[in-house]
Amino acid sequence: MIHKKLFIQGITTSGKPFRPSDWAERLCGVMATFRPPGDAGDPRFTYSPYVRPVVIAKVKCVVIDTRLRDLDPRALDFVMNFAKDNSLPIEEACEFEPNPQPQS
């Protein structure tokens, strides 16, 4: 299955920065427990590899790995609905194979 990385941008459709200013960290903190099997990271101290805060061109964003859907479809729905409910743009970044074969 092809997976994607999506970006939620912290600029509303009206062009204003989304508030509060730590919205990305808060959202990622809520999603920290969603981890791949075998991940030993402590959700109290680290973000999920599927939902991470980043800054792109001075704009706070959240990167979402669509493999989150494989773990729990409701988790991906929650993040996507957060963006829609708050009028935040969602951009598709790229597609990737989750476990590409090494080239010889």
Residue 26 covered by a domain = yes
Residue 54 covered by a domain = yes
Q: What is the rounded distance in angstroms from the CA atom of residue 60 to the CA atom of residue 73?
A: 24
Q: What is the pTM (predicted TM-score) of this model?
A: 0.83
Q: Total domain count for the chain?
A: 1
Residue 43 covered by a domain = yes
Residue 104 covered by a domain = no
Q: What is the rounded distance in angstroms from the CA atom of residue 67 to the CA atom of residue 42?
A: 19
Residue 103 covered by a domain = no
Residue 76 covered by a domain = yes
Residue-wise pLDDT tens digits, 10-61: 998 889 999 999 999 999 999 999 998 888 888 888 999 999 999 999 999 9
Name the residue range of residue 62's domain.
3-96
Q: What is the CATH number of the domain that holds 85?
A: 3.30.70.2340
